[in-house]
Structure 1
């Protein structure tokens, strides 16, 4: 399972490492060390550091502390080159799967991808574009562009110029069909409004139903804020991988 963190301290937030670089036993933060939870459900977890997060920030951003994002200068540079941060992060996921293919202890025929928030963004586009991803879990992201990144203040790494001329977020997620997909959303999420998440879930459901794969898309809403939940999603991944 390729595990992609959201904004915060980078990969440390999902593998049980605290602010001092030491192991922690309590699953703190909104990401709740979900890569460790993946392993606890019997799957191999390959946790990656997204570009401009954690140890992949530029020196200026790194000096401002562990939680300071380095997205803006990198995402801006991508736009100047006619590219996007999302595209670069998807490329990272694809190259990670290339690496998995070289590992005898890992099975490239059963690769999944998952992430929360910005990691959910990366998961959505990666699973839509990379057929080697056999199952995916999107946490705290699947919504509508109109109700989230178009209407609320979000990091620049969420934006793909012109995408609303062609597709909504559920259209992108629909490209994952008929492969297994699980999505979850907190009912008190203040940056990805729950009603828009429900609308997006309905849109994705229609795609799966059209392809005769209704059972391969499942979702959960939970009583919580913008955070990883995993109660139904992790068993779903374990079942399908």
Structure 2
């Protein structure tokens, strides 16, 4: 995502493209890498009352503390923009890491409970090898709308491709409507938006770039 020589069909060098616009970009690798190996870490963590997010949150606390200490970084304007599993991170980590002033969830926003438990929907995790997805007591606590409420009043955006197989547009729009209503009822409607685009599970980098320029108060090139 940051190497200008590599055109990945999902990431489209978006960190590099944002750097060209004058943003400081930092692209850490979260622990979800290596096939099933990170899932084995999760299984070992669960008897200790931990999840993969226990490590990821601490990782981002350290990262943002370090970034905030750099002389070329404004600690009040640290934003998170994640794709796919990074989109999952965009829903969870900014809730707990105060350094992040806004969050963008790309290619992941969903009706999350249905995504985990449906035995009928072909995109449900019941039909995939991603056995790490169910989270304890999720159905009684937070769906994605409720997670976005915890990000509020900070700006929050969803980037959604019509052909993204994580869910149908209708389910994404259904869940996001609750996010939108929450912001509007608080008089903060200008701080949230969703962009639908004609494409697959990928960074689009159009409306989201505009969102970053507007809310980070950074001039466009």
- Report the secondary structure of 1:195's partner residue: helix
Instruction: Tell me the SS of whatever aligns to 2:167.
Output: coil
- Of 103, 106, 114 in structure 2, the residue corresponding to residue 139 of structure 1 is 106
The separation in 2 between residues aligned to 1:157 and 1:30, in whole angstroms, is: 22
Residue-by-residue CA offset, 1:187-210 (whole Å, 9 max, x unaligned): 111123321111121010011012
Partner SS state of residue 104, structure 2: strand
Residue of structure 1 equivalent to 2:91: 124
Cross-structure match for 2:5: 24
Output the CA distance in 2 between the equivalents of 1:24 and 1:201. 35
Shift of the 164–139 alpha-carbon distance from structure 1 to 2, 3 Å rule, reads same
Find the residue that maps to 1:172 and give its secondary structure. helix
1:42 counterpart = 2:42: no
Q: What's the counterpart of residue 81 of structure 2?
A: 114
**Cα RMSD, aligned residues only:** 1.8
Gaps of 5+ in 2: 119-123, 217-221
Secondary structure at the aligned position of 1:79 is classed as helix
SS in 1 for 2:115: coil
If the length of structure 1 is used for normalisation, what is the TM-score?
Answer: 0.80
* Segments ≥4 residues shifted beyond 4 Å: none
Please give the alpha-carbon distance, in whole angstroms, between the structure 2 residues aligned to 1:32 and 1:77. Answer: 35
Distance 1:118 1:149 in 2: 15
User: 1:86-122, CA deviations, whole angstroms, 9 ceiling, x for partnerless residues?
Assistant: 2321221121111112211111111111100100111
Match of 1:88 among 46, 55, 66: 55
Matched, 1:184 2:159: yes
Where 2:114 maps in the other structure, the secondary structure is: coil
Sort the Cα spacing of 1:186 and 1:69 in 2 relative to 1 into closer, same or farther, 3 A. Answer: farther
Asked if 1 retains the 8 angstrom alpha-carbon contact of 2:107 and 2:166, the reply is no
- Provide the C-alpha distance between the structure 2 equivalents of 1:185 and 1:69, rounded to a whole number of angstroms: 27
Residue 157 of structure 1 and its aligned partner are, at CA, apart by 4.3
Q: TM-score normalised to the size of structure 2?
A: 0.87
Hey, what does 2:145 align to over in structure 1?
170
Deviation of the 1:134 alpha carbon? 0.8
Separation (CA, whole Å) in 2 of partners of 1:160 and 1:90: 16
| 1:69–1:114 CA distance, 2 compared to 1 (3 A) | farther
Whether the aligned pair in 2 keeps the contact of 1:177 and 1:211 (CA below 8 Å) is no
